Structure 1
């Protein structure tokens, strides 16, 4: 593989880690770049290789959040186990079938997310705790299954979906949602990595240098998100969702 390909992938991975640390969706940066630069590589191998830098960047971002944001460890532990299992199954399915049928559905979902977030100015600004513990756990399990499977099967945008789920479904503010989303995202990435390692789908020559760059981007992004707070994260979230929307629209209508 040409060295400049790896350099371009590393640059994309840095920005992916930076964006992902703030609101998720870093895969929407590095995945298209990898697909363009590695056109002759199986999609499952590309997705599998990108899980290594994704896990690395998410780990560094999560470490920064853990220093300043309180976590509900009982809830997170349950979500992590469920999300890990769902991602493992989703990645297994990716090695067997095509996933193009998901893009039109995601286009509609992302359109609704963008409109709702833009219209509701206080969305994710204040934390609401009006769920009973039982209802919160049930919703958390459903969210972990759906998003975990999606991450294993397709991947890009998972961090944003997790942030959205913690805000819209579980009532977190954006800062706590971003922090908790990182912990669940670690579990989904690890579930996929386990499957892809077993299947021999990871290209380590690409994955390892990208992992270092993604980690650096995640470290910087998380520190910026913690410093700037909810308002900044909300704006960044909107930008990433709109970018995701345009990307899927291109894939659907090209």
Structure 2
């Protein structure tokens, strides 16, 4: 892939947009992966390179949420450990799973999420009692980790669902916790991809620079606007992402 000032600028700007969306809800990687592939980067390398941006973006986002006083490490760290364990399996399976079937399944699931976001606002905007047992929560976040290790794109939607419905955390607090979870398991995934020669360091660092800027902006926006704004933005991004996944699979 040829490198130029125009290309670097485009990568940086896409990083800002992806970082913003990842921090307030999810879906940033659904923009990054097609963009890098369009530029001529191998899909597997794009998948690995994106992890570098995700790690640094998550650090910036988590710190911004921490400064705003909405990050609960007591909840975040155990969930991050479970998700990281699942991500190890997902990362090693990254090349062997049928992408078409996966895309269609994920599109169906996040379409259901979009319906719930629009028509069941109380499910997302208010903190509620945990409905799953500890074993249930473990299975949910282990499975999310496997998916995140595999492809990353769209994992924020599943984490938002898991934190809201399985753990009982509101959207703003959930987004803060999500930064810790995503950052930790992607450190492991990044190491595995890098060890297999699937990370373009220069592109990843430029993307990361933009993502960190977008993450800080997104965290401030989320805290200032609250759960309702995030719910509507998340619903819009989820719908667009689901449509894109269907087209990619067909």
Fold conserved (TM > 0.5)? yes
Task: Say whether the 8 Å CA contact 1:10–1:210 is kept in structure 2.
Answer: yes
Q: TM-score, normalised by structure 2?
A: 0.92
Counterpart check, 1:171 vs 2:172:
no
Task: Say whether the 8 Å CA contact 2:141–2:162 is kept in structure 1.
Answer: no
Aligned counterpart, 1:148: 145
Unaligned runs of 5+ in 2: none
Deviation track 1:222-253 (CA, whole Å, cap 9, x = no partner) reads 01111111111111111111121121122123
User: Against the structure 1 CA distance between its residues 31 and 127, is the aligned structure 2 distance closer, same or farther, given a 3 Å change threshold?
Assistant: same
Aligned counterpart, 1:27: 29
Counterpart check, 1:234 vs 2:226:
no
Aligned counterpart, 2:39: 37
Aligned counterpart, 1:104: 104
State the alpha-carbon separation in 1 of the partners of residues 163 and 228 from structure 2: 16
Q: Which contiguous aligned blocks of 4+ residues in structure 1 show a shift greater than 6 angstroms?
A: none
Give the C-alpha shift of residue 72 in structure 1: 5.1
State the alpha-carbon separation in 2 of the partners of residues 53 and 70 from structure 1: 21
Unaligned runs of 5+ in 1: none
Deviation track 1:156-196 (CA, whole Å, cap 9, x = no partner) reads 11112101111122221111111111111112211211211
Task: Say whether the 8 Å CA contact 1:90–1:149 is kept in structure 2.
Answer: yes
State the alpha-carbon separation in 1 of the partners of residues 237 and 97 from structure 2: 28
- SS of the counterpart of 1:90? helix
State the alpha-carbon separation in 2 of the partners of residues 97 and 160 from structure 1: 20
Pick one of 156, 173, 179 that aligns with 1:159. 156
Aligned counterpart, 1:197: 194
Give the C-alpha shift of residue 6 in structure 1: 2.8
Task: Say whether the 8 Å CA contact 2:117–2:232 is kept in structure 1.
Answer: no
Aligned counterpart, 1:9: 11
State the alpha-carbon separation in 1 of the partners of residues 232 and 154 from structure 2: 16
